[in-house]
Chains A and B, each alone.
Chain A
Amino acid sequence: MELTNEYIKQRLADQFGDKVVNFEEPYGMFTFEAPKEDNLKVLQFLFDDEELQFRFLTDLCAVHYPDQEGRELAIVYHLHNLVKNVRIRFKVFTNIQEPDIFTATNIFSTANWMERETYDFFGVNFIGHPNLKRILNVDEMDYFPMRKEFPLEDQTRIDKDDEMFGRGGSII
């Protein structure tokens, strides 16, 4: 039987009721959202179900939306059913004061480093992770650089007297 987006949506709604919300299909990829307490339940259901079989974690990353109060951080899972070749996207939102979320490492070994990377750049605290420490940045770093409060340097700034890099005071 073909695994259509409507069917996945129906199965999720049957299993989780009102908890799964915000069904979308941007560029054809089925996308939905669940509360952060239920992220493991949803992932486990998608993994175990005989028809859904989303057993390949393609990608895991976070997105920071500073304007959405209470749901500043989105954790995005891209899952793939390799048998029927269907991809879906699953999102979980959390606030930035307590960015705690359960780790998926017990379902997917590959989530280990993906979660470390997400912690490293966004400060998402994955509860139960075996080794949650920085992976690409130095251990001494005390902030989470991919958050939007750290903008990149303005390319047009002229207050730096830095002639070595071609941004000298000669402009003034």
Chain B
Amino acid sequence: MSEQIKHIKLPEGSIEKQTTTLNLGPTHPATHGVMQNILEMDGERVVSAEQTIGYIHRAFEKLAERRPLYQITPLTDRLNYCSSPLNNMGWHMTCEKLLKIQTPKRVDYLRVIIMELARIADHLICNSIVGVDSGALSVFLYVMQYRELIYEIYEEICGSRLTTNIGRIGGFERNFNNTAWTKLEKFLAEYPAVLREFEKLLQRNRIFMERTMGVGAISAERALNYGFTGPNLRAAGVDYDVRVHSPYSSYEDFSFEVPVGSTGDCYDRFLVRNQEMWQSMEIIKQAYQKIQEFKGADAEVYHADVPEYYLPEKKDVYTKMEALIWHFKIVMGETDIPKGEVYHSVEAANGELGFYLISDGGRTPYRLHFRRPCFIYYQAYSEITAGSMLSDAIITLSSLNLIAGELDA
């Protein structure tokens, strides 16, 4: 008997193992990422699951100890790569908190737009993958074109699509151009109909409901004890949302609802994510409206005035001595960051993404720790799948929204 299954209690008098060991992953189409589950199966029922993670561990925390702040942003891209802008913004805000930088309101609103778009893109993937795993492939392909549109908006702002490296400490690298706004308007106009149809296809679909209701359920108490955050916690009935509890980036200026579920099963998680997409749409609309209210010089503001950390414009670098000095100092990472210890968290698409940054006054962080939501809630997987069917365990896996990049850091 192998090491892993020693904890399985065999019935009295049995002479051999009566369960089957099944390796789910690390490269399996249903795991949607590189992670392994060693399942002990009794027929088609899961007796226990043991997770092996770390297949794509890239030592981000160690790497961060040798990098100036702005070079850490690309590392955060690769945590939850389905919604990189959320991680980027979370990191910028952590730096701003440490450096005591106050961002202008317009920057906050622009950030809110990007963060909510990223949330929609992430929830869209997660929910449609739940559809795929329950046998409904068409919804996944159908909504992909709107994730594509979101990616095109990113592209207009930062030039890249998946690992975005969007924004800078203090604001954005450039103002949103007209194409970005046009595409955002297109998204706002067209997406509600798509989301409605997406819901129509799944929400009251008998097959989908049978496959997801009561599957992978967790109680509110256990979810809290397991450190669940984000939609997974809210599906269990706890209305904890970082955007409401500790507002950042002027979220207090927006009115939105925090949808909660009651049973904490896959179906509730699906519903909560869908409702959050509607709420995100509302937030984007409000932010867009607020941005249009800025007039004159205020309407052109897209970064805070922090020459120590925000790269000057290229034409100034060539013509002005001061700009050249700042440019050099920033690029070479020669600015000492103040001594301090700060924890900042944002509501990322799958939970509370926290950054614990300790600086000893040098040029790089002394220690940086990422609180990665899916690393924390994945450990509940074996508890919530014990006793379920194999196919239910697979739906639970995708419905928890596990992203291998975030799991392994």
Contacts and interface: CB of A to CB of B under 8 A. Distances in A.
B227 A110 contact: yes
A172 interface: no
B323 interface: no
Interface residues on B, range: 35 or more
Interface in B311-369: 340-343, 345, 352, 354, 356, 358, 366-367, 369
Contacts of A63: 358, 366-367
B367 A57 contact: no
Task: Classify the secondary structure of B's interface with A.
Answer: mixed
Nearest to A107: B225
B238 interface: yes
Given A56-B227, A82-B240, A108-B225, A113 B343 contact: no
Given A27-B97, A82-B238, A109 B225 contact: yes
A55 B224 CA distance: 8
Nearest to A29: B343
B342 A27 contact: yes
Given A108-B225, A114-B376, A59 B62 contact: no
Contacts, number: 88
Interface stretch (B52-60, B140-148, B277-285): B52-60
Contacts of B354: 58-59, 78
Interface in B177-236: 222, 224-227
Find the residue from B53, B65, B97, B226 having the highest chain A CB count within 10 A.
B226
A26 B97 CA distance: 11
Contacts of A145: 59, 62
B55 to A, nearest CB: 9
A166 to B, nearest CB: 18
Given A56-B227, A109-B225, A110-B376, A136 B343 contact: no
B61 interface: yes
B343 A87 contact: yes
Contacts of A134: 54
A128 B88 CA distance: 37
Nearest to A61: B369
A136 B54 contact: yes
Contact of B222 (A57, A109, A138): A109
B54 A26 contact: no
B240 A58 contact: no
Contact of A135 (B53, B98, B366, B380): B53
Interface residues on A, range: 35 or more
Find the residue from B59, B61, B367 having the highest chain A CB count within 10 A.
B367
A55 to B, nearest CB: 7
B340 A27 contact: yes
B409 interface: yes
Contacts of B380: 109
Nearest to B224: A56
Given A27-B340, A109-B222, A113-B379, A59 B356 contact: yes
A125 B138 CA distance: 50
B371 A58 contact: yes
B40 to A, nearest CB: 16
A64 B61 CA distance: 13
A76 B356 contact: yes
Contacts of B98: 27
A55 B378 CA distance: 19
A44 interface: no
B375 interface: yes
Interface string B369-409: 10100011011100000000000000000000000000011
Contacts of A87: 246, 343
Contacts of A58: 227, 345, 352, 354, 371
Interface string B230-270: 00000000101000011000000000000000000000000
Nearest to A150: B62
A152 B66 contact: yes
Given A26-B341, A27-B341, A61-B369, A137 B376 contact: no
Nearest to A111: B227
A85 B54 contact: no
B57 to A, nearest CB: 4
Interface of A: 26-27, 29, 31, 55-59, 61, 63-64, 76, 78, 82, 85, 87, 89, 108-110, 112-114, 117, 121, 134-138, 145-146, 150-152, 155
Given A108-B225, A109-B222, A135-B53, 10 more contacts: A56-B224, A59-B369, A61-B356, A63-B358, A78-B343, A110-B379, A134-B54, A135-B54, A152-B63, A152-B66
Interface of B: 53-54, 57, 59, 61-63, 65-66, 97-98, 222, 224-227, 238, 240, 245-246, 340-343, 345, 352, 354, 356, 358, 366-367, 369, 371, 375-376, 378-380, 408-409
List 3 tightest A-B contacts by C-beta distance, closest first.
A110-B227, A136-B54, A61-B369
12 contacts: A26-B341, A27-B97, A27-B98, A61-B356, A63-B367, A82-B238, A87-B246, A108-B225, A110-B226, A114-B376, A121-B61, A152-B65
